[in-house]
Amino acid sequence: MIRQFGGARRRLIEELAEKGIDDVSVLKAFDDVPRHLFVPSGLHHRAYEDAPLPIGHGQTISQPWVHAKYLQLLALTGRERVLEIGTGSGFQTALLTRLAGEVFTIERIPELAEEARRSLSACGIERVSQRVGDGTLGWPEQGPYDAILVGAASPDVPAPLLEQLAVGGQLLVPVGGRDEQVLMRIRRTEGGFERAKLDAMRFVPLIGTHGFEA
């Protein structure tokens, strides 16, 4: 079942490469992780389109290019402690297990968190620490983190996530309104934080204490 849609997966990888994803380790992660196991069964035939898809509970699995862009920007070496805000389907979580040392992930919707756990298990992935809760608060007990990825749009950069970022670490978060955002990359240095605006993005809102109201 995991190796189903092999041709479609290869075509997606070729498309990602044509769109500027040239990190071999990221492309290999996409080849290793079967995206169709992270979308509803009725959408398996669309799983390898470079497009977002609904996963229920008012949420979506992001366009593969967005996941690939995040991972390429982080340039993970396999040793990092990574915090993911917004487990969602669990697909990006699975990709992270191929690229980082330790993966921690938070989802605010219990049903989605459970579905992600089942999908990860179906792929034989056990090396993930999951929590249900307010992602805008982070997971301070397990920090600091070398990388933090936020998979939802925030009106501003959540302060607790900045506090949990290790010196030398990176935080990726879409910042803006509910309908349109800009991807921000924040690096923590010995003297503070360096911020850079990257691509325009469109994500579901980040709900929580330091995000949008439900």
| 182 touches 174 (CB < 8 A) | yes
Q: Which residues pair with 88 in a beta bridge?
A: none
Task: Tell me the residue type at 198.
Answer: L
Query: Which among 150, 213, 144 is positioned nearest to 183, based on CA atoms?
Result: 150
Residues counted in the chain: 214
Residues that are catalytic: 62
Exposure string for 97-132, b = 16+ CB within 10 A, e = fewer? bbbbebbbbbbbbeebbebbbebbeebebeebebbe
Three-state SS at 83: strand
Element (H, E) at 107: strand 102-107
